[in-house]
Amino acid sequence: MLVSVTAPLSFAVRDRIRKAIEAAGGAVHFAERLRDVPAGPEIHFGHVSLDFIYAHPTLRWVQTASAGVDRLTMGDRPFPAGVLLTNASGVYGTAGGEHVLAMMLYFARGLHFYTANQRRGEWVRDVSYARLLKDRTAVILGLGDIGREVARRARAFGMRIIGVKRTLRPVEEADRVVTSEQLDDVLPLADHLAVTLPLTRETYHLLDARRLSLLPRGAFVYNIGRGAVVDEQALIEALRSGHIAGAGLDVFEDEPLPPESPLWRMDNVLITPHVGADTPWDYDAAAEVFLDNFSRYVRGEPLRNVVDPALGY
């Protein structure tokens, strides 16, 4: 059993992985690049591409170091049958939740207005941009790991939480849960809309111009899921018109965000470069998911975080 690892890990975690694999009678190959992986791996952990999986027909299980797997499930070719796919869901929730809340506070307290004045050297004591999160409504589109952490933190600030998810099951962190079929009904209630969804064929441009128009004038939008869940051009137009008061964006349809994008030059937009759920310790944390799953794999037990490639999550 050969295991290939392309995740950049600390020496201590690499040593733990090596010992676990060797104890199971296997061998491990650590590589910085996919092209440096030798032929014949049965298991792969870390950076991965659909081309890599097709090039290694010996693969039986792929553990990603990310939560999103759209690069593997949204391509022109289907994900190979017979290969088990698991992700690192559970690793990124805390950081993602804090990041969205930071964006909420940035706009709610009018910091976008004050930082723009700071760059111009202007002392303007205008408090009309300052708001409270207390008693406002946050609609959270997607109640996975990150979505629940956003809800937990927003509720601590006194916000009312409406969660939107695929199935109608209660979630402790939300005051109300609706299905995606009811999205149009709750968008008009959103003072703040947080998008935490993965990109699938069902979620592509889920928030188009029509749905953005359903938001109340002056609402704020945050996207920490995947860029293409929101129609970016429609969002730009809504920001220009003032219908959307501000947007905190960590993900984009094209990454890196092209220099010519008008989003760079909009004072009511906060941009972070797809780092919203990241910390310097993410890969080591993802390795804990892999190590747990590896022990399950060798014992023939069900794995955690199994992804259905047809659904994309």
- Is 226 labeled as catalytic in the residue annotation? yes
What does the pLDDT read at residue 75? 87
d(CA 240, CA 55): 46
If we measure between CA atoms, which residue out of 148, 140, 253 comes closest to residue 189? 140
d(CA 250, CA 151): 18
CB 247 within 8 A of CB 270: yes
Write out pLDDT tens, residues 130-151.
Answer: 999 999 999 999 999 999 999 9
End-to-end CA distance of the chain: 27
**Rounded to the nearest 10 degrees, how much is the dihedral formed by the CA atoms of 43, 48, 50, 52?**
-70
Burial 92-128 (b: 16+ CB within 10 A, else e): bbbbbbbbbbbbbebbbbbbbbbeeeeeeeeeeeeee
Joined tokens for residue 165: 């998810």
Contacts of residue 82, defined as CB under 8 A and 6 or more positions apart, other chains included, come to 60
d(CA 227, CA 252): 4
| Secondary structure (DSSP) of 174-189 | -SEEEEGGGHHHHGGG
What's the CATH superfamily of 93-271?
Answer: NAD(P)-binding Rossmann-like Domain (3.40.50.720)
Q: Of residues 109, 155, 274, 304, which has the active-site annotation? A: 274
Give the mean pLDDT of 226-235.
Answer: 99
Write out pLDDT tens, residues 45-93.
Answer: 999 999 999 999 999 999 999 999 999 999 899 999 999 999 999 999 9
Q: Of residues 22, 202, 255, 301, which has the active-site annotation? A: 255
Q: Is the dihedral of CA 260, 264, 269, 274 positive or negative?
A: positive
Which pLDDT band, with edges at 50, 70 and 90, does 3 fall under?
very high
User: Where are the CATH 3.40.50.720 domain residues in the chain?
Assistant: 2-91+280-299, 93-271
CB 36 within 8 A of CB 310: no
d(CA 3, CA 10): 17
Joined tokens for residue 196: 């935490």
Residue labelled with tokens 């860029």: 227
Contacts of residue 97, defined as CB under 8 A and 6 or more positions apart, other chains included, come to 146, 148, 149, 150, 152, 153
What does the pLDDT read at residue 149? 99
Q: Of residues 56, 226, 232, 253, which has the active-site annotation? A: 226
- Is 255 labeled as catalytic in the residue annotation? yes
Write out pLDDT tens, residues 169-211.
Answer: 889 999 999 999 999 999 999 999 999 999 999 999 999 999 9
CB 84 within 8 A of CB 302: no
Contacts of residue 207, defined as CB under 8 A and 6 or more positions apart, other chains included, come to 141, 195, 221, 229, 230, 231, 234, 235
Give the mean pLDDT of 91-110.
Answer: 98
- Supply the mean pLDDT for the chain: 98
The CATH number of the structural domain formed by 2-91+280-299 is 3.40.50.720
CB 192 within 8 A of CB 138: yes
